Chains A and B, each alone.
Chain A
Amino acid sequence: MSEVKYSKEHEWIKLDGDVATIGITKHATEMLGDIVFAELPEKGSSVEKDGTAGVVESTKAASDVYTPVSGEVVDTNQAIVDDPSKINQDPEDSAWFFKLKIKDPSEMDTLMNKDDYDKFAKETSA
């Protein structure tokens, strides 16, 4: 299993073979506040790198969730739709959003590693 990578839109992505698991970062959940609604892409649909692939809403506002790489949606996490507060509780593990069969592994190279993301998150929230 490869290392976890991060996007500038605050998604994390973990690659296992050609299937990637994607969710939003802890930092993102802290900026959003209490998440009370989640919408996920449809299973079987195709998503394009940096395109919209879902929505999360706090009590205050709605935010798009983007996909950091292209691919076909092979699984979605119904548990976070049924109880969106799980996203605040465990964003970078059990509260993953969707899994993709990725199209182009080289897209992973455009993403940040943990250290770079932490630095990026700190700078952009300051």
Chain B
Amino acid sequence: METKKTSLYQLHQDCNAKFVEFAGYQMPIQYSEGIVEEHKFTRNHSGIFDVSHMGQLFIYGGEDLIKDLEKIFPLDLKNLKLNHSKYSFLMDKDAGIHDDLIITKTKKGFLIILNAACKDNDFKILKEFLGDKYEMILDENRSLIAIQGPKSSEILNDVINGVKDLNFMSGNWFTFENQKVYITRSGYTGEDGFEISIVNDFVDQLTRELINKGSKLIGLGARDTLRLEAGLCLYGHDLDKDKTPVEANLKWAISKERISKGDFIGSDIIIKQLNDGVSKIRVGIKPEGRIIAREKTKIFNQSDVHIGEITSGTFGPSVNGPVAMGYVENEFSKKNTKVFLEVRGKKHPASICSLPFYKKSYVKGVN
């Protein structure tokens, strides 16, 4: 299959991007300044991420759609306010995670943002459940960019007036050059920021205007170090079909109201795990010194017993040291528990720590 290009491909090239293939797309891994500088620029200023490879699924419908989607997602969708977003999962009947996603209630239905590598399979699964009852569009005509970091609100508001008044995890329709753009205050970096859905033909112009106002394009490399410092999961690494949301320590994202009734896909397992506990759980792991423990690194306890594995690990430029997360047996998941990480045949000391590694600075709205 030929690799696809996003509508910003030319702009990436103009900015000297190094490309990698990711989920069937040619995506920028970094630009000329490099991952560490891009990371820091996002934390201190404002960075733009092309995430157009991600799926934008629009499902149109009313009360029936809410009821049907509640059979799928562990969310209280009927009480979700218009233009508000929730983080959730598409699970199988054993509560294994097919994908993690953001779902937003719109006037005509819902917008669901899906991972690039999962979007086609997600669409198939949702179509099987929902049948032909609702119009479902996995929109390839729209691009998605994120603008993240402390200066982003000011910069984006200069180009699209009014966005600065959005609350965290809520969105609305705005206009840019007479085009309808849907903007949510959200992101994947631990910084204040926005995600902007805009038709392909106008994304280049919008992005160039944001760059002219002082923001910079940031590659997938820094996107990974930023999200890991923020303690956020990456599907296919920290989450997959062999892990449940309870094991992933994401039970905050499951609606309490829905658990009491338990009529969504995977609810039997979720309820059981919430009542009985889990044998493995996702934790933050801070290696001592500078050693970097990558994905699949084995974790041992102080008696040299294998107790788990790293699922993401890198060097955190803002933390200025290595950061990791992984799954360990529940009894070793307490903060400050000493563990050992096997890297290149040697065991290196580390400790279980709370997430995030880097304190978030989201704008919290009042409502």
Interface of A toward B, CB cutoff 8 Å:
33-34, 36-37, 55, 57-62, 81, 84-85
A60 to B30, CA, bound (A): 11
Q: Closest 7 interchain pairs by CB?
A: A36-B315, A34-B36, A59-B35, A34-B34, A57-B292, A59-B315, A59-B314
Chain B interface residue count, CB cutoff 8 Å, equals 18
Quick one: closest B residue to A55, CB to CB?
Answer: B344
Q: Nearest A residue to B39 by beta-carbon distance?
A: A59
Q: Is the CB of A62 within 8 A of B292?
A: yes
Chain B positions 96-116 with a Cβ under 8 Å from a chain A Cβ: none
Partner of B35 from the list A55, A57, A58, A62 (CB cut-off 8 Å) is A58
In the complex, what's the smallest C-beta–C-beta distance from A53 to chain B, in angstroms? 13
A121 CB → nearest B CB, Å: 16
Q: Is B317 an interface residue (CB 8 A)?
A: yes
Q: Measured between C-beta atoms, what is the minimum distance from B18 to chain A in Å?
A: 8
Query: With A33-B35, A34-B36 in contact, do A59 and B291 touch (Cβ < 8 Å)?
Result: no
- In the assembled complex, the CB of B290 is this many whole angstroms from the nearest CB of chain A, namely 5
Chain A min CB distance to B320 (Å) = 9
Of chain A, the residue at the smallest CB distance from B320 is A36
Residues of the B chain whose Cβ atoms lie less than 8 Å from the Cβ of A62: 292, 294
A37 to B294, CA, bound (A): 13
User: Given A36-B36, A37-B290, does the pair A60, B221 have CB atoms closer than 8 Å?
Assistant: yes
Tell me the smallest distance from the CB of A85 to a CB of chain B, in Å.
8
> Does B225 count as interface, using CB distance less than 8 angstroms?
yes
- CB-based contact A37/B221 at 8 Å: no
When distances are taken between beta carbons in the complex, the residues of chain B under 8 Å from A57 are: 292, 315
Residue of B nearest to A59 (CB): B35
- Distance, CA A81 to CA B314, complexed state (A): 17
CA A91 to CA B35, docked complex, whole Å: 18
Chain B positions 180-203 with a Cβ under 8 Å from a chain A Cβ: none
